[in-house]
Chain A
Amino acid sequence: MSTIENYLAPSSIDDAAAALAAGSATIVAGGTDLMLQAGSGQKEYAPTLINIQKITEMRGVSLDGDTIRIGALTTITDLLTDEIIAEHLPVMATMADKFASDQIRNAGTVGGNICNASPAGDGIVPLLMYKAEAVLASKPNGSTETRKVPLDEFFTGPGKSVIQENELLIGVDIAVPPAGFVGGFGKFGPRPALEIAMAAVGLGGVVKDGVISDVRVAFGAVAPTPIRSAETEAALEGKKLDETTISAAGEIASSSISPITDIRASDWYRRHLIRVMTEEILNDVS
């Protein structure tokens, strides 16, 4: 295990960004991924460990005009009880209810889930569905700057993303979904929650007079990163949600992906589950 030479616990985004600008740092939020990965040697610590938990401005959900900001330090448990989430982004709460266990939900953060960039990161799936944008802060020239990256352009591979060494994820921004927007999240495992997803689906759109539009479909655990499925979206966009559309969408959803086979599930079963869950959510919202 690599050694940590320096430990910092900044209390503002500005201080954290300044510390990151100095280079060679590892960020820790809830630690539920990092501690495990560093302990098993899967990940090496950079010389400086920056604990961002004291940056209170990064925790919580806020609504500013038409934009909802979920702070990076918002815990998965927070998503279950937050009123803005319940009103505008209920699928985040559905996801949180199928996430890990109470203890892990209490410690694990939305930002950590995103930055860990696991192909099976559950939180990412509904965020892709809600068209979230990652908000990244850095302090390249002595002043703190932010940039936004749409989440569907954020991930580059398992554990990899476009986030730079000197950047901190401060939260995600989501436009308040339009009236009539409905969605769902599906994750299957024999247990209610404490499972690494074999496959996960986030699907939503505006349903009006039985027709779905503005469709967003995202899958987890079936590709090197959580993905959007443009094919499935196209198969649904502007269609009446009848049996034919739904089963065609399920078919396309499962054939558009090429998941791996591992000890958790075969590629065939993963595709099967994607189809079943896609159709299930569509039946629920139709």
Chain B
Amino acid sequence: MSAKVDITFTVNGAVKQVSVPANMSALDMLRDQLDLKGAKEACGEGECGACTIIIDDTSVCSCLMYAADCDGRTIETIEGVQTEDGLDPIQQAFVEHGAVQCGYCTPGMVMQAKHMLNKNPNPTEGEIQRGLEGNVCRCTGYRKIIDAVAEVARS
């Protein structure tokens, strides 16, 4: 087995200390060690975005990131998006616009949408489509997802 690396980082506002094998992905660490199973592994190859998390204010595919590389960083996962007051506006818009079918892509979509809107609060429809190009959804045909993001951008 690969060497273990002790790392400390912040997840959804809480400081975590874990010991991870050097070859482990951030996704496996989140799912298996921290029991944060919102992010999904749908390809493990960076091609689908189901594992998207936000780390130090940028979105990445956690399946292609080394867990050890989380050391000292700040991570936000889908589990941290909802607040005590309820759903985040993006989550609310996904529900109301019918942007969710099987929902397997949804955590990654929401995280990527959130990152996109952080960087560009007023995207055009084309920019929304490009912003989501790394997230595959096999159920919805994307239109309702695009509508949901556009709605959040408008309000």
Contacts and interface: CB of A to CB of B under 8 A. Distances in A.
B59 A102 contact: yes
A192 to B, nearest CB: 6
Interface stretch (B79-87, B128-136, B145-153): B128-136
Given A1-B23, A6-B3, A103-B49, A35 B58 contact: no
A104 interface: yes
Nearest to A3: B2
Interface in A62-112: 77, 100-104, 106-107
Contacts of A45: 2, 23
B112 interface: yes
B66 A192 contact: no
Interface string B1-41: 11101000000000000000111010000000000000000
Given A5-B3, A100-B134, A101-B49, A107 B23 contact: no
B72 to A, nearest CB: 8
A227 to B, nearest CB: 26
A36 B59 contact: no
Interface residues of B, number: 34
Given A35-B66, A100-B134, A4 B2 contact: yes
B133 A101 contact: yes
Contact of B134 (A4, A7, A194): A194
A38 B66 contact: no
A1 B1 CA distance: 10
Contacts of B63: 35
Contacts, number: 97
A27 interface: no
B100 to A, nearest CB: 20
Contact of A51 (B61, B68, B134): B68
Interface residues of A, number: 32
A4 B22 contact: yes
B133 A102 contact: yes
Contacts of A101: 46, 49, 133-135
Nearest to B1: A3
B139 interface: no
Contacts of B61: 32, 103-104, 107
Contact of B115 (A7, A31, A102, A193): A102
Interface of B: 1-3, 5, 21-23, 25, 44-47, 49, 52, 58-61, 63-66, 68-69, 71-72, 112, 115-116, 130-131, 133-135
